[in-house]
Amino acid sequence: MRFLHSVLLVGLCVVGLFSAPLFASDHGSAAATAETSDKPQTSGPLTGGTADHTKFEALQQDFADGSAVTKACLSCHNEAGKHFIRNIHWTWEYVNPDTGQLLGKKHLINNFCTNARGNEGMCAQCHAGYGWKDESFDFGDETKIDCLVCHDNTGTYYKTPNSAGNPACSVMLEDMPPLDLTSIARNVGLPKRANCGACHFYGGGGDNVKHGDLSSALTNPPRELDVHMDADGLNFACTACHLTKRHVWAGSRYRVIAKDTEGIGKPGERRDVATCESCHGLSPHPVTSVASFKRNDHVSSIACQTCHIPEFARGGVATIVDWDWRTAGKTRNGEGYHEHGYVQGNGEDRYVYKSIKGNFTYGEDLVPVYAWFNGQMRYTTIDTRFDLADQPIEINGFTGSRHDLDSRIWPFKRMHTWQPVDQGNGTLVYARLWGEDDTAYWGGYDMGVSIAAGMKDFGLPYSGYFAYAETLSWWPITHTVAPKEQALACRDCHAADGRLDAIEGIYMPGRDHSRWLDIIGILAVIATILTIFGHAVIRGFSKGGHYHDGHA
């Protein structure tokens, strides 16, 4: 029976193979007219600009700091500040309307560098503002908005920590060239991939560390890495999909649209989503064969990313899949150190150990974990209590099932970490990692002291005892869309030990078997073949053996 199933499945794939292409138009025609990497990137409905900033009177001055540049920007863009201070890039805060959970970097704990809260002196380098180093930061002060981090088009802008930190960390700031804020301010434009990537590519403490599908390789990627961002093809900027309205961007990892049932909107609409369906529609494959019909049939239960992103951490940049804080804190002659030991695809040698963080395990070209997902994630927050005997602890568990109409099968990166927790209270902890004294772990190397200080900073209970617990986090894979010829084939899933072998709740031909269903299916196929053969015989011998010529 298994053999017959395989034959039928291969036959279906062959039908698709010799039918029309997967998409209506091939990449070649798009690439012929698309802008190359040295030209403006495609940014949704916006292209180019209507002003030459080098001529603006407000920019004909020397700027003492970034806030001075922002004041000049707001003198013309007088509503932009009011819009911007409402978005999550500024607030680092989000209340999930479905669960009521208070989320965002301002509050959450992750299983990478653990907590941004209390460590804003370092972590807020990726805050779109200036000067956030503690709880005194004024989120209502529009002059603290950093316009340049998103709009610099010179490629020379960078940010530094908002506080000094331990001298052991000062090496990160050595040999940095001075910023020419006047030149940068006069050469602003729409955000490019490099602008967004300055933070999003390096989340978690390094290149591609966190997401697995967001790395520096996307700054100027080839088609093989991403068909949309292909620098010599479509050349999409991030904002081509993550459309913006009043400085609020479409797409959120805190509230994912796992199943878009609306599809393509009218021109100017659907600016609040960044789904595949919002551009490609609900039936993205031209129906020219049984195989293409079945592909569209799969859209209701399988996310586009599942087939079109067959592996993640591609392009020569590895991602971290395991992090062990238990080994952190080792020193040599009283000083922290680091060790290289993993050479990734692009030839760069990555750290496998750092005194300030512990050991890392990397991976490249990884097959995702597949699971039902309805877009809803539930986070383990600083207030969540758990049983330490029940490990691993999910930092962000997700929900979904075959019976949930909002669910589809999605690809995920699975991140495993050993990290500190409050042993007595059964909670996650805020640790003071960054700071100027020995209570900061990055310099003092005493985790107990660091946790006590971090929890005290925010008036949180701490038992005085910590342990290391296993944790997991899950990251939906949605970037680095491969060329269509590299998408998964039928046999990748419809087979024993296939990609979706662990998926429950469905009957999958080629993987699953039912004796009576197999018999019924085989009889149906035989009956169909006999019917077609009989019809051909009848036509051949009817009318004196002559076929109809098609005319009346």
Q: Kind of pairing, strands 102-103 and 94-95?
A: antiparallel
Q: Is pLDDT larger for residue 37 or for residue 312?
A: 312
From start to end of 208-261, where are the E strands?
244-245, 248-249
* Percent of the chain with pLDDT strictly greater than 70: 89
Q: What is the DSSP letter of 372?
A: E
Q: Kind of pairing, strands 94-95 and 466-476?
A: unpaired
pLDDT band at residue 80 under the 50/70/90 scheme = very high
Q: What average pLDDT score do residues 207-211 get?
A: 98
At residue 397's C-alpha, the angle toward residues 411 and 453, to 5°, is 125
Q: For residue range 129-156, what is the model confidence (pLDDT) as tens digits?
A: 999 999 999 999 999 999 999 999 999 9
Q: What is the pLDDT of residue 507?
A: 86
Q: What is the pLDDT of residue 174?
A: 73
Q: What is the pLDDT of residue 352?
A: 98
Q: What average pLDDT score do residues 168-194 get?
A: 88
| Total residues belonging to the chain | 552
Check whether 283 has a pLDDT greater than 80.
Answer: yes
Q: What is the pLDDT of residue 512?
A: 86
Residue ranges covered by each domain of the chain: 53-259+303-488
Check whether 32 has a pLDDT greater than 70.
Answer: no
pLDDT band at residue 269 under the 50/70/90 scheme = low
Question: In Å, what is the CA distance from 281 to each residue of 31, 210, 287?
Answer: 22, 30, 13
pLDDT band at residue 267 under the 50/70/90 scheme = low
Beta bridge partners of 538: none
Other beta carbons less than 10 A from residue 500's beta carbon: 19
Q: What is the pLDDT of residue 230?
A: 97
Q: Computed from CA positions of residues 118, 160, 473, 340, in that sequence, does the dihedral angle turn out positive or negative?
A: negative
Check whether 8 has a pLDDT greater than 70.
Answer: no
Window from 2-6, 216-220, 415-419, 445-449 with minimum mean pLDDT: 2-6
| Per-chain mean pLDDT for the chain | 89
Q: For residue range 88-111, what is the model confidence (pLDDT) as tens digits?
A: 999 999 999 999 999 999 999 999
pLDDT band at residue 34 under the 50/70/90 scheme = very low
Check whether 30 has a pLDDT greater than 60.
Answer: no
Q: For residue range 326-383, what is the model confidence (pLDDT) as tens digits?
A: 999 999 998 999 999 999 999 999 999 999 999 999 999 999 999 999 999 999 999 9
Q: For residue range 223-259, what is the model confidence (pLDDT) as tens digits?
A: 999 999 999 999 999 999 998 889 999 988 898 999 9
Contact 212, 313 (CB under 8 A): yes
Q: What is the pLDDT of residue 170?
A: 67
Q: Is pLDDT larger for residue 321 or for residue 3?
A: 321
Q: What is the pLDDT of residue 534?
A: 87
Check whether 48 has a pLDDT greater than 70.
Answer: no
Q: What is the pLDDT of residue 144?
A: 98
Contact 148, 66 (CB under 8 A): yes
**C-alpha torsion 427→428→434→438, nearest 10:** 40
HEC assignment per residue over 295-320:
HHHHCCCECHHHHHCCCECCCCCCEE
Contact 283, 320 (CB under 8 A): no
pLDDT band at residue 11 under the 50/70/90 scheme = very low
CB within 8 Å of 400: residues ≥ 6 apart: 258, 371, 372, 373, 374, 375, 376, 406, 407, 408, 410
Q: Is pLDDT larger for residue 253 or for residue 182?
A: 182
